[in-house]
Structure 1
Amino acid sequence: ERVSSDAIQIHGGYGYVADFPVERIYRDVRVCQIYEGTSDIQRLVIAREIAKG
């Protein structure tokens, strides 16, 4: 997320325009976070699966 956010900042207003791939990458990252949960949630899920064996 941080990398895609930095890329948006570097591109400025053009980073939000759909003609640039940066916009799609940033949007995809945000959707994945919403769909799959935060990194903390993912860590908990992985830890539970490892503990189950």
Structure 2
Amino acid sequence: MNDTHVLIVDRDEATTKKICSMLITNNRNLSIEQSNHGKKAFAMALKNRPNLS
């Protein structure tokens, strides 16, 4: 089973975090893999966690 990767990029850090937390709330398998604040945009990568069943 492949991991799902989601990359959110926005100029506004607050918007980016809000989108990411909404995605994580709606999909329990997603977790934040890394976040990066560049000069022009804020990016967060979400990774699909393996099911622990």
Using the size of structure 2 for normalisation, the TM-score is 0.30
> Between Structure 1 and Structure 2, which shows a larger proportion of helix residues?
1
Structure index of larger Rg:
1
Q: Which has the higher contact order (CA 8 A, sep 6+)?
A: 2
